[in-house]
Structure 1
Amino acid sequence: MSLTAIKNLLFDSFEVSKVLIIAPLRVAKVTWPSEIEKWEHLDIINYSLAIGSKEERLKALKTKADIYLINRENIDWLINKSGLVFDYDMVVIDELSSFKSHRSKRFKSLMKVRPKVKRMVGLTGTPSSNGLMDLWAEFRILDMGERLGRFIGQYRETYFKPDKRNGAIVYSYKPLAFAEDAIYEKISDITVSMKSEDYLDMPVLITNELIVHLSEKEREVYETLRKELVVSIKDKEIDAINAAALSNKLLQMASGAVYDEDKNFIQVHDRKLDALEDLIEGANGKPVLVAYWFKHDLERIKNRFDVRELKTSKDIKDWNEGNISVGLIHPQSAGHGLNLQAGGSTLIWFSLTWSLELYQQTNARIYRQGQNETVVIHHIIAKGTIDENVIKALNKKNVGQEELLEAVKARLEKGDL
């Protein structure tokens, strides 16, 4: 849809002449070019891919084209170090949520040239995965502060109150009673939420929680760490210095292994590996995608099953052509923008993440336009562990984000599209 709009602006209404698309690395490298080449009505568009070494990027940016594609990590370089004039009159940010930190280099760099851009478009399926505070930086880029204010302090004072604090130091903020509705109203004129299921004939989505049970001995090890912050496993001492470290260690342990101070992992149980084996066998030869979080998950899964990581363009192509029976992805590297729906319709969460954004974006790799089969998303949950807290938190966070998306939902009839 974005490419069709760009085509119209370039060649029908002549409102823009040079477009920059900013996206996650693999999305810029694989997804956008394949979409341009896929649709016949876009064959008029010339694009240049500014990815690779400094020399390759400079050559691509100096090549005459309608659209320039660059990964978000190189925005600071493009604006502050490339030596090139920033003369793009339209910018599209794929995964606007990756600019939600007003302290990041990419945000500050883009804000330097924002006044030069006539049209700024942000695309994301997870605009407020960590709450309403995420929205300020995203909309500061879109409208230069017109709706939610030019300064983060102003935004905080207007819509939030201090929540967790230690004396004068505030660690988190809580929205005021009126904030949610007021913010949605402020941004509604430039924000459109369109869900695939509202406009497309999407397949059925089934989510499932597969519960595994630790043995008495395994549970004793887990509970000792949880209560004492230290436990001895196979003559190795595992400790957690604070709550964040404890949360991480407990998640590892629920998954089946835990790292010691030398960064070596110690196996605790195989419950999730056994469950994964059952799910793979139950797929009866159909391809399955497995999402993992820890490196020891990857190693243990590889040791037990014939699997392939989806890391390169070739891996993604082979997956979508049905040449991989068990594919492995990490949410941080495959959570945004990749089209994996052609290769399978089953996703298994071997270990979970606290990040709603990465969780939802990873699910959207297979549950998206072009998927023709019922999508099944399995979650392997260790009973009585932090896994249960994570899945509950993800469901709770999703409620808040769903309210935002519903508030700015496009009120269109299908015939209007």
Structure 2
Amino acid sequence: MTVVSTIPAPPALPVWMQAIENTLKPFQKQVRDFIRTRHASAVWMTMGSGKTLVTLSALSYLREPGHILVVAPRNIAVDTWPEELFDWDIPLQVTSFNITPPGMVGKNGRRSKGQRNLKPAEFKTLVDNIGTDKPGLYTVGSDRFTDLVQRIIYAGEPRVRPVGCARDDGVIDLDAVRDAFSEIEDRYAALCLDRVEAAPEAERGAVDDQYSEIKAALGQARLVKLKPGTASGGAPTVVFAHRDPKKAKRLRAEQVRHDLADVITAVTGHPFRVAVIVAKPDYRQWPFPTVIIDEAQGFKNPQSLRWKAMIAVRPHIRRLIELSGTPTPEGAHEIWPQIFLLDQGDTFGTSYTDHLATWFTPEQVVQNQVTRWQISRWNETQLHQAISHLAISAENTELHLMGFGPPITHRVPLSADLMNAYQAFARDALLSVLLTGLTELRERAYDQSMAATADMFAVTAAEDDARRRAQCSGLDKSETEGAVSEARQRAIGATGDTAVARAAYDAVTLDDASAHYIEAVNGGVLRNKLLQFAAGAVYIDLDKGADGYAKATSLTSRPTLQLHSAKFDKVIDICDQHFATGGDGSVLIAYRFDFEKTILIDRLRRAGYLGARAYNGMPDTKKAWNRGEIPVMLVHPASAGHGLNLQFGGHTLIWTTLPDSNEHYGQTPARLNRLGQTKPVVVHTILTENTIDMAMPGALSDKQASQERLMQATRSEFKSSIAGAIAAVNRAHRQ
């Protein structure tokens, strides 16, 4: 008798997983496997290649325990990921740290008609409840990620009880105080206002500043625990914690603690005392073992707060996935911060400075500081090979988009008087920048001379004393260094030779400032001012009480001097021609400066486009655009450059002022050129003649080459096998 061994069939996939499996193309499945086999991976896929769905498919097979966090540009966080889960019926609870859930019930018991940004108190409550919520997917905008990390690591002790469970002994607990915290803040603010009004008129300004600082400190404080009442009958104590020792000290003031205790007692109906401690960070409280960074190029700056926050919690992340379509929009030097997040320095080392020195050579040096780096083609090739174990790049070879029609450039002239004014403005702005640089150089020379002539024995003694006091007070490393630095500066100021320092200050001339600062500021303050002039207005410094303030803020929140309307007139002409000739769809306008938005909305509405509005980041606005309910919509590339599907609303884009970012320049038109677009996208660019505007297109095109080389080099080694697999599928389909 022959015994036949049978291998049990693998369990059937859930319906939603099988639907995704049937949809994924061969190259997408191989990218998914790349993610599944690594605890840290970078996926670089072109637009329309399905980065989100591929990642969700990988996670559905991995079934990692615990919460999942998606960090992404705001639009992707609040719209793309929730929409993808909904479209594929993925049974995973999704929560946004940016906006309210649809149909949220307010305190009045009514459901909200639309979604809105979370209020600070709602954000705090949401974060505090993470530990008691069932595992799910959370999304947070990149701009709010640092706040999220800070809120978690300074959370203090765990909650007294699970959410929704009342204590059975009838004693009020910390959660009851926490639930009433927003009312406590309001009541305390009202109390502060009463104190200011009661102060003598001559002192009101100082008293107002004092209470403003206290209110700000209270808003950033945490309720961490509730100490029980004493055996002698003393009231229980509410303990606040603040991560800033100086702000904690303000809240520790006897009068402040007394006032807070009275307010809390009035709100809760129970007597309380108040204590304040300095909060210590606890990174072990990080609740997200799986983190996805969508559009990871947003973490390309190692000096940014969001990058530092991610590094702080990185040891407590088990699986990190980076997604991007443009990993290095400004050049290959941007890759180190993203790779360091993945392997914490295994590939390129732990020093960004050493990495740059190893792979790059200085291209521009200003004041002994390298401001621009370049890389040889050989080094760039080696760099790409070094990250092949972490990064995979793929493109959808079957994606057929409508593409772009011939670009249209409009050159608007300035009158002779305006052109003379522009040239004079350029000279004056340059002089202003140089004078600013002169002041900075002089202050630096003064500080260096003071340090060189100071009594170093006294300075060292002051530093040692400050370090000893800090250690006795239990300050952490950063706080200790801050206290030591302050003590050092005081000692230098007390013992340095001010006469010598003043002579060094006066010795610095405008020629020194020109030599050291001109190159650095051409891409900064000066250049920005000239772009403002070309756009039609410039921001000005004007106090609220000054004459002309009301006129300068009639259309803008920031004082603005309007100079010409050449670009605004051209926008109206383009819109009129578009709709007069029966142009299909609405018109999208991309602006750079906030005054362009507000002035254009006013001009458009006066021209008859009453439905013109600015994109506010809400899913409801995107849906209204795609339904054709918004004839003209204004967007800023920084808020509408990623994850925004606008292809159903129109196919016409107008650039009023081009951005500096190659990433924004490429991503914004791609909001219209997506699957579902039925017409070639037409891009209008408005440039002001004989101004800095004219140099913008060339500067952006120079940034394209490095980006494309990186994408090509990291195309998966299975590129030929992908083509073969697709051909096989096509043959089977034809048969």
Query: Does the alignment reach a TM-score above 0.5?
Result: yes
Residues 130 and 62 of structure 1: CA distance in aligned 2, closer, same or farther (over 3 Å): farther
- The match for 1:68 is 138
Aligned AA (1:183): L
Per-residue displacement from partner, 1:41-95 (whole Å, max 9, x unpaired)? x433332323332112333564213322222244334444323732433211012
Q: SS in structure 1 opposite 2:301?
A: coil
Aligned AA (1:261): D
CA shift, 1:21, in A, is 0.9
Does the 8 A contact of 1:3 with 1:36 survive in 2? no
Alignment of 1:253 with 2:533, yes or no, is yes
Alignment of 1:355 with 2:661, yes or no, is yes
User: Pairwise CA RMSD of aligned residues?
Assistant: 2.6
Q: SS in structure 2 opposite 1:164?
A: strand
Per-residue displacement from partner, 1:383-406 (whole Å, max 9, x unpaired)? 222112111101111222122222
- Write the distance in 2 (CA, Å) between the matches of 1:214 and 1:325: 29
594, 610, 614: which one aligns with 1:295: 594
- The match for 2:673 is 367
Alignment of 1:280 with 2:575, yes or no, is yes
Per-residue displacement from partner, 1:195-224 (whole Å, max 9, x unpaired)? 45x331111213322222222222222222
Alignment of 1:50 with 2:50, yes or no, is no
Residues 128 and 339 of structure 1: CA distance in aligned 2, closer, same or farther (over 3 Å): same
Alignment of 1:220 with 2:220, yes or no, is no
Residues 221 and 240 of structure 1: CA distance in aligned 2, closer, same or farther (over 3 Å): farther
Alignment of 1:115 with 2:315, yes or no, is yes
Matches within 5 A, 1:85-234: 85-166=285-366, 168-176=368-376, 178-195=378-395, 198-206=397-405, 207-226=407-426, 228-229=427-428
- Write the distance in 2 (CA, Å) between the matches of 1:80 and 1:296: 33
Q: SS in structure 2 opposite 1:88?
A: coil
Aligned AA (2:726): G
618, 643, 646: which one aligns with 1:340: 646
- The match for 1:323 is 629
67, 77, 88: which one aligns with 1:28: 77
Alignment of 1:38 with 2:87, yes or no, is yes
- Write the distance in 2 (CA, Å) between the matches of 1:60 and 1:50: 11
CA shift, 1:190, in A, is 3.0
Matched length: 407
695, 699, 709: which one aligns with 1:393: 699
- Write the distance in 2 (CA, Å) between the matches of 1:171 and 1:80: 31
Q: TM-score scaled by structure 2? A: 0.52
> Mind listing any 5+ residue stretches in structure 1 that lack a counterpart?
232-237
Q: SS in structure 2 opposite 1:367?
A: coil
CA shift, 1:13, in A, is 4.6
Does the 8 A contact of 2:299 with 2:306 survive in 1? yes
Q: SS in structure 1 opposite 2:401?
A: coil
Aligned AA (1:247): R
Residues 60 and 283 of structure 1: CA distance in aligned 2, closer, same or farther (over 3 Å): farther
- Write the distance in 2 (CA, Å) between the matches of 1:3 and 1:248: 36
Which 4+ runs in 1 deviate beyond 6 A? Answer: none
Residues 267 and 8 of structure 1: CA distance in aligned 2, closer, same or farther (over 3 Å): closer
CA shift, 1:311, in A, is 0.5
- Write the distance in 2 (CA, Å) between the matches of 1:4 and 1:36: 9
Q: TM-score scaled by structure 1? A: 0.88
- The match for 2:235 is none
Per-residue displacement from partner, 1:165-212 (whole Å, max 9, x unpaired)? 24543333332453221212222343233445x331111213322222
Q: SS in structure 2 opposite 1:188?
A: coil
- The match for 2:491 is none
Residues 154 and 201 of structure 1: CA distance in aligned 2, closer, same or farther (over 3 Å): same
- Write the distance in 2 (CA, Å) between the matches of 1:32 and 1:131: 28
Segment of structure 1 superposing worse, 67-76 or 393-402: 67-76
Matches within 5 A, 1:74-89: 74-82=144-152, 83=155, 85-89=285-289
Alignment of 1:415 with 2:726, yes or no, is yes
User: Which is richer in strand?
Assistant: 1
Does the 8 A contact of 2:127 with 2:151 survive in 1? no
Residues 362 and 60 of structure 1: CA distance in aligned 2, closer, same or farther (over 3 Å): farther
- Write the distance in 2 (CA, Å) between the matches of 1:176 and 1:318: 48
User: Which is richer in helix?
Assistant: 2
- Write the distance in 2 (CA, Å) between the matches of 1:77 and 1:253: 36
689, 701, 709: which one aligns with 1:403: 709
Does the 8 A contact of 2:301 with 2:307 survive in 1? yes
- Write the distance in 2 (CA, Å) between the matches of 1:352 and 1:73: 22
- Write the distance in 1 (CA, Å) between the matches of 2:538 and 2:383: 42
CA shift, 1:139, in A, is 0.8
- The match for 1:311 is 616
- Write the distance in 1 (CA, Å) between the matches of 2:131 and 2:418: 56
- The match for 1:235 is none
- Write the distance in 2 (CA, Å) between the matches of 1:180 and 1:191: 15
Residues 11 and 220 of structure 1: CA distance in aligned 2, closer, same or farther (over 3 Å): closer
Q: SS in structure 2 opposite 1:193?
A: strand
Q: SS in structure 1 opposite 2:588?
A: strand
- Write the distance in 2 (CA, Å) between the matches of 1:187 and 1:230: 44
- Write the distance in 2 (CA, Å) between the matches of 1:73 and 1:256: 29
- Write the distance in 1 (CA, Å) between the matches of 2:652 and 2:130: 38
Residues 194 and 388 of structure 1: CA distance in aligned 2, closer, same or farther (over 3 Å): farther
- Write the distance in 2 (CA, Å) between the matches of 1:171 and 1:230: 22
Q: SS in structure 2 opposite 1:203?
A: coil
Aligned AA (1:134): E
CA shift, 1:407, in A, is 2.0
Does the 8 A contact of 2:414 with 2:688 survive in 1? yes
Does the 8 A contact of 2:74 with 2:617 survive in 1? no
Q: Look at both structures and tell me which one has the larger radius of gyration over its CA atoms.
A: 2
> Mind listing any 5+ residue stretches in structure 2 that lack a counterpart?
1-49, 99-117, 156-283, 435-520, 543-557, 606-611, 730-735
Aligned AA (1:22): V
Aligned AA (1:278): D
Residues 409 and 16 of structure 1: CA distance in aligned 2, closer, same or farther (over 3 Å): farther
Per-residue displacement from partner, 1:304-350 (whole Å, max 9, x unpaired)? 10320010413222112210010001122222322222222211101
- The match for 1:234 is none
Aligned AA (2:388): S
Q: SS in structure 2 opposite 1:37?
A: helix
- Write the distance in 2 (CA, Å) between the matches of 1:265 and 1:80: 36
Residues 213 and 103 of structure 1: CA distance in aligned 2, closer, same or farther (over 3 Å): same
